[in-house]
């Protein structure tokens, strides 16, 4: 009887304490906690939420920084969708980069994680070597890849020459420039690999032992055990990589600046040009572009999250 009564008490929702009902000590503790997190709250309000709302309002204005913003309604959006040819060009380039880089990172990251989850010599060294490039500053990486992808004396062309393939102008030929950026995107596969590696190590070994007893081969174990149980990790990696790929900017600005012939002009670079490169700056127009990018990323994220219950399986 006492056990039943105590369990009922635990299941009852606790009454939320009001500020006036708190003791002086509890009030001081609450104020101290608010004081310690106040820098974070102020930072979010001033540097995140404030610019977020301001950019939305500015997207309906003509604003050149020099003069006060003038309300023009949806003219910026009409111009973007109707007469801005570079908008569609940059959107297509970004879509190509997102599709290519996300596929490369997911597939290559998964394969590397499978290899580095096995018992091999110098396992810690290999994991470190694959992960370290992911933490190198983007400017330094871009300068290194400028040498690797150089059309005359680049390291990649040297390897291609060894196997009898002619030199490719990776950064000056519009047909190959995007491919060069996709090759560069392998630099950040280490982060994806580490997340996959953590997911692989959470799969119980008993599942593989039972499958071996039932006569399942290596490919069957991977298709029926590893991949289904890794779908939550795949889901996380797909989301992270899609969001990051849509925001590709720094390496494009440093290595090609959108060229040649706008072959690598990405969406964020298009936003940057209107905000900082053109005179006078068109902050209202660039804000409208930024909100279109936000809605595209939000739509992709929502679709993946909503459909995840059809292909993501959790080990309960």
Predicted TM-score of the model (pTM): 0.87
Burial class (CB in 10 A: 0-12, 13-18, 19+), 137: exposed
Candidates 61, 95, 7, 104; CA nearest to 283 is 61
The rounded mean pLDDT for the chain is 89
Q: What is the pLDDT of residue 249?
A: 94
Q: Which of the pair, 5 or 310, is modelled with greater confidence?
A: 310
- Tokens read off for 125: 């060294």
Decide: 293 and 80 in contact? Cβ < 8 Å.
no
Mean pLDDT computed over 126-133: 88
- The residue behind tokens 């905000």 is 275
Burial class (CB in 10 A: 0-12, 13-18, 19+), 66: exposed
* Tens-digit pLDDT profile for residues 203-230: 888 888 898 888 888 888 888 888 999 9
Burial class (CB in 10 A: 0-12, 13-18, 19+), 268: buried
Rounded Cα–Cα distance for residues 238 and 253 (Å): 25
Q: What is the pLDDT of residue 29?
A: 86
DSSP helix/strand/coil, 255:
helix
Mean pLDDT computed over 254-265: 92
Burial class (CB in 10 A: 0-12, 13-18, 19+), 211: middle
Check pLDDT > 50 for residue 2.
no
- Tokens read off for 215: 């006569």
Lowest mean pLDDT among 26-30, 144-148, 300-304: 26-30
Per CATH, the architecture of 84-311 is what? Orthogonal Bundle (1.10)
Candidates 100, 126, 97; CA nearest to 112 is 126
Lowest mean pLDDT among 11-20, 143-152, 173-182: 11-20
Mean pLDDT computed over 66-80: 93
Rg (the chain; Cα; Å) = 26
Q: What is the pLDDT of residue 16?
A: 59
DSSP helix/strand/coil, 146:
helix
Domain boundaries, the chain: 84-311
Cis bond upstream, residue 260 (ω within 30):
yes
Q: How confident is the model at residue 151 (pLDDT cuts 50, 70, 90)?
A: confident
- The residue behind tokens 């992808």 is 149
DSSP 1-19: -HHHHHHHHHHSPPPPPPG
Angle (nearest 5°) at CA 132 between 40 and 202: 80
Q: What is the pLDDT of residue 7?
A: 52
Mean pLDDT computed over 54-61: 95
Q: What is the pLDDT of residue 218?
A: 83
Neighbours of 76 (CB within 10 A): 25
């Amino acid at each position: 009887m006492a056990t039943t009564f105590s369990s009922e008490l635990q299941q009852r929702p606790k009454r939320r304490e009001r500020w006036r009902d708190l003791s002086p000590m509890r009030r001081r503790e609450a104020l101290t906690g608010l004081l310690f997190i106040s820098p974070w709250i102020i930072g979010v309000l001033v540097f995140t939420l404030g610019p977020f709302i301001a950019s939305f309002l500015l997207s309906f204005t003509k604003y050149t920084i020099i003069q006060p913003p003038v309300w023009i309604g949806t003219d910026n959006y009409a111009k973007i969708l109707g007469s801005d040819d570079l908008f569609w060009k940059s959107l297509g380039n970004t879509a190509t980069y997102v599709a290519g880089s996300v596929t490369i990172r997911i597939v290559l990251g998964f394969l590397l994680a499978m290899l580095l989850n096995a018992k091999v010599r110098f396992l810690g060294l290999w994991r470190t070597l694959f992960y370290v490039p992911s933490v190198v500053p983007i400017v330094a990486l871009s300068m290194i890849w400028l040498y690797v992808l150089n059309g005359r004396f680049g390291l990649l062309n040297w390897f291609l020459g060894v196997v009898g393939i002619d030199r490719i102008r990776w950064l000056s030929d519009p047909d190959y420039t995007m491919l060069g950026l996709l090759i560069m995107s392998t630099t950040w596969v280490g982060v994806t690999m580490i997340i996959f590696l953590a997911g692989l190590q959470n799969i119980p070994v008993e599942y593989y032992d039972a499958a071996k007893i039932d006569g399942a081969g290596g490919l069957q174990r991977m298709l029926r055990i590893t991949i289904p149980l890794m779908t939550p990790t795949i889901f996380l990696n797909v989301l992270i990589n899609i969001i990051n790929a849509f925001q590709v900017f720094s390496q494009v600005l440093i290595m090609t600046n959108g060229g040649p012939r706008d072959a690598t002009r990405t969406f964020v670079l298009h936003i940057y040009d209107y905000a900082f490169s053109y005179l006078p700056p068109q902050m209202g127009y660039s804000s409208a572009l930024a909100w279109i990018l936000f809605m595209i990323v939000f739509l992709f994220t929502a679709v993946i999250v909503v459909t995840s219950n059809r292909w993501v399986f959790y080990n309960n």
